[in-house]
Amino acid sequence: MTGMTDNTQASATSKLLVGVDASDNAMRAVEWAAAEAAARNAPLTLVHAISVQGVASFDAGRFVGPAREEGHSLLRRIIERVRTRNPDLDLRAEVTDMSPAHALTELSREAALIVTGTRGHGGFAGMLVGSVSRKLAAHAHCPLAVVRGDLPTETLDEVVLGVEPGQAAAPIRYAFDAAARYGALLHAVRVWHPHAIYSSVAGGYCEDLDQTRADEIGAMEDLLAPLAAEHPDVKVEASAGRGNTVPVLIEAARGTRLLVVGAHRHRGPLAVGAGYVVDGLLAHATTPIAVVPIG
């Protein structure tokens, strides 16, 4: 990798990474990442991938030099633009010959967060579900934030946390930390699928929705309790509903600051996605999504 540094302070393990190219979607991801880095008082590294892999060896000499220079030029323009809104932000930049997914996965070993946009061009082309974002959701060593579409001018001061049964601590901690940073409400949401039981009184299979909802909320509050005790200033709201997890979470998070979900890591080289729920959210949610690794 080749790099340029605008400021060299702060810990490497606290830094944020954002994948960039010349697209509008990538620039929106940069703007979100810059605001997040400023809120954390953390450095932000802009990463541009030129993807040398697949270029025929006899073309590599003609391709690599100009591509690297174009990448550095792009990064300088983006840094200048970011500086107008965030003059004190610690900014770094890197151009890599690797593919976007490979580069960001490797860099994620020493990062606090990766940020990507969608539908990129050039160095991050095809950043759709099924491509870079899905691979990072399955393989990154740190949380991944995916910014889709236009950022709203006004948002609800809420962080939505999707909670699964026996939820691991990492996504819960991430959601509480984000809510504390933003001064936002933490809205924990549990979605269950219908599970009917036989009732001789009703003469068939039925489900006590009120009881199931109360049971799910109670179990969720137990999971949240240790982190809630560490964040007494964060207001917490819990809700539960029956249905399909993806559309319920999308609707719950609509217009909010962030949607947080957990994803189990897949270390096999052929693993692409992080599961049905994460893939569905990355494909359809308009809210920025934080995918937090589990295991």
* Listed residue (150, 148, 153) closest to 133, CA to CA: 148
Residue 87 is predicted with a pLDDT of 94
Least trusted range by pLDDT, from 7-16, 113-122, 183-192, 224-233: 7-16
Indicate the DSSP class of residue 122: G
Residue 270 is predicted with a pLDDT of 47
Long-range residue pairs from 271-277, CB within 8 A, at least 24 positions apart, any chain: 271/138, 271/139, 272/130, 272/134, 272/135, 272/138, 273/129, 273/130, 273/134, 273/137, 273/138, 274/134, 274/137, 274/138, 276/246, 277/162, 277/245, 277/246, 277/249
- For residues 138 and 274, the answer to whether their CB atoms sit within 8 Å is yes
Rounded Cα distance between 293 and 118, Å, is 20
- Higher pLDDT: 133 or 247? It is 247
Q: Does residue 48 have a pLDDT over 90? A: yes
Q: Does residue 45 have a pLDDT over 90? A: yes
pLDDT tens-digit map of 85-97: 999 999 999 999 8
Can you give the three-state secondary structure of 42-67, one letter per residue?
CCEEEEEECCCCCCCHHHHHHHHHHH
- The fraction of the chain above a pLDDT of 90, given in percent, is 54
pLDDT tens-digit map of 250-283: 999 999 999 999 998 765 554 555 688 998 998 8
Residue owning tokens 């962080």: 159
Most confident region among 60-64, 128-132, 165-169 by mean pLDDT? 165-169
- Higher pLDDT: 284 or 197? It is 284
Residue 271 is predicted with a pLDDT of 54
Mapped onto helix, strand or coil, the DSSP state of residue 179 is helix
- The fraction of the chain above a pLDDT of 70, given in percent, is 79
How confident is the prediction for the chain on average, in pLDDT?
A: 84
Structural domains of the chain, ranges and CATH numbers in brackets:
2-146 (3.40.50.620), 156-294 (3.40.50.620)
Using pLDDT thresholds of 50, 70 and 90, give the confidence band for residue 57.
Answer: low
Helix, strand, coil percent content, the chain, rounded in steps of 5:
40, 25, 35
Using pLDDT thresholds of 50, 70 and 90, give the confidence band for residue 148.
Answer: confident
